[in-house]
Structure formats: C-alpha cells, structure tokens
C-alpha cells in the first residue's frame, strides 16, 4: 500500500498513476479536488485532502491510512510548493519563507516521523521516498526559500536513512531536474530555449513519467541495498564537464 502526497497534479500524479498498477494508492491533495477526483477515476486510487504543512492534517492522514489499510509499505513525500511570487532574496518576505518551508520541509519531515513509527509498530520493512530537486544544490536567487527547503529535505533523507536502516526501512532521495509541470508553466518557454542551447546534456525537458519510473524501481525493491541513495532524474544536469 502506497501513500503519495501531492498526487493530484504534476510529478505526484505521474507517480500515483505508475504505482496504481501494483499498489493500492492513497493520493493526497490540497485545493484542487476536481483533479484529485479525476485521478481516482482514472487509477482507482483513494484520495484524501491534506495540507501537509498542518499537524492536524498529517495526523488525520495517518488515521485514514490506518483505518483503511492498517499499514503503509511505501511513502512518497512529493507534495511541495513554489513561492507565490519570485523575488530577489534582498526583497523576499518572511511570510513566503515560512509558507514554503512549512510545506516543503517541515511537513514531509514530520509525516515521515509519523509513518515510520507506524511501519515499525507493524513490523513493516517499508520504503520512504523524498522528491527533492536540483534546487537543493543550485542557487536561484529569485526563489531562495525554495532552494533552502529542498536543501534541507536532502539532509532529511540522510537523517532518516541513517536512523531507520536498523529497522529495515529504506529511505531514498529522487532529485528531479527541470520537469514539465504547472509549477514551471510561467518559465517553461525560457527553459526550453536554454535546454536547446545546451543547458542539459540530454537536450529535452523531463516529464513526470521520468520521475515515476525511478519511484517504480524503488517500489519494486530493486534498490533495497542502497538506502540513502540520491537518484538524479535531471537529464545529466548534475554533471560537471570541461
């Protein structure tokens, strides 16, 4: 049984769709219920409203999972937000910083704590995946809060992998690059031009399905001796060449 947060759109939807062929999926959403309902209709996934930044919503999700299935085999921490407005870090606001970090870092960190406790109590040697970003190490000075949230999430992966290894729970980081989603819709054309000019060694934009297939490999147990591993799904962006 798999929980995928932020499953109604973008990368999360692609992951939920990919997993639905082998897992019973609970997909969370925040806001767009119509998109979540279409996911349920297309895949048979259960849907559950959850603002991952809120403790009460995380607890309600855990209770829903427990009541419906009793156990979780796979948690995919995918839900995330971009700043509502891109601003130079000299002009950025504390309110935006707090909002982004609450959803992108605090939420998945404590949801993992909750789900890991349940896995241990049920004796489940499950798998936990964090969807981070190339922004965890790439500085974008017009969205500093997003970069900081993803860098923190990368450390969360290392922490949880180290802590949970003795329990048999495996933890992984998938680090997408430039992926075609509504999050980048406003700058998609600019990215396409830069990719054509050589920004990526593999000269195409990523798709949600590229990330979903990496999750599939983890879900299938193909990387079970690689806890803590970072999987770059970025068209080679991380490579340094001379």
Residue 186 has pLDDT above 90, yes or no: no
- Catalytic-labelled residue, pool 20, 96, 133, 149: 133
Q: Which of 44, 74, 13, 86 is nearest to 218 (CA)?
A: 74
- One-letter-per-residue 3-state SS of the chain: CEEECCCCCHHHHHHHHHHCCCCCEEEEECCCHHHHHHHHHHHCCEEEECCCCCHHHHHHHHHHHHHHCCCCCEEEECCCCCCCCCCCCCCCCHHHHHHHHHHHHHHHHHHHHHHHHHHHHHCCCCEEEEECCHHHCCCCCCCHHHHHHHHHHHHHHHHHHHHHHHHCCEEEEEEECCECCHHHHHHHHHHHHHHHCCCCCCCCCECHHHHHHHHHHHHCCCCCCCCCCEEEECCCCCCCCC
Q: What percent of the chain has pLDDT over 90?
A: 94
- Catalytic-labelled residue, pool 8, 53, 149, 150: 150
Q: Does domain 2-233 sit in CATH 3.20.170.30?
A: no
Least confident of 2-6, 82-86, 107-111: 82-86
- Catalytic-labelled residue, pool 53, 146, 154, 170: 146
Residue 237 has pLDDT above 90, yes or no: yes
Residue 53 pLDDT: 98
- At 138, is the pLDDT very low, low, confident or very high (cuts 50, 70, 90)? very high
User: In this predicted model, what pLDDT tens digit does every residue of 199-223 receive, in sequence order?
Assistant: 999 999 999 999 999 999 999 999 9
- At 31, is the pLDDT very low, low, confident or very high (cuts 50, 70, 90)? confident
What is the pLDDT of the chain when averaged over all its residues?
96
Residue 185 pLDDT: 83
- At 131, is the pLDDT very low, low, confident or very high (cuts 50, 70, 90)? very high
Going from N- to C-terminal start, the domains of the chain cover: 2-233
Residue 171 pLDDT: 98
Residue 61 pLDDT: 97
- State yes or no: is 146 an active-site residue: yes
């Amino acid at each position: 049984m798999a929980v995928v947060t932020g499953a109604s759109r973008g990368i999360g939807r692609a992951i939920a769709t990919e997993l639905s062929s082998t897992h019973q999926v609970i997909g969370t959403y925040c806001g767009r219920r119509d998109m979540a309902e279409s996911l349920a209709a297309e895949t048979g996934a259960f849907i559950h409203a959850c603002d991952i930044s809120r403790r009460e919503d995380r607890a309600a999700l855990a209770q829903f999972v427990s009541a419906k299935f009793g156990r979780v085999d796979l948690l995919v921490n995918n839900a995330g937000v971009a700043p509502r407005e891109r601003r130079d870090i000299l002009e950025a606001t504390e309110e935006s910083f707090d909002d982004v970090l609450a959803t992108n870092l605090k939420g998945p960190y404590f949801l993992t704590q909750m789900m890991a406790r349940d896995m241990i109590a049920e004796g489940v040697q499950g798998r936990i995946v964090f969807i981070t970003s190339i922004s965890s190490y790439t500085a974008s000075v017009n969205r500093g809060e997003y970069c900081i949230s993803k860098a923190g999430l990368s450390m969360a992966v290392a922490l949880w992998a180290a802590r949970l290894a003795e329990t048999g729970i495996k933890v992984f980081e998938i680090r997408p690059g430039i992926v075609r989603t509504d999050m980048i819709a406003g700058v998609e054309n600019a990215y396409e031009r830069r990719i054509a000019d050589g920004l990526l060694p593999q000269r195409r934009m990523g798709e949600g399905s590229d990330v979903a297939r990496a999750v599939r490999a983890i879900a299938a147990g193909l990387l079970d001796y690689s806890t803590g591993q970072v999987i770059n799904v970025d068209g080679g962006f991380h490579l340094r060449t001379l």
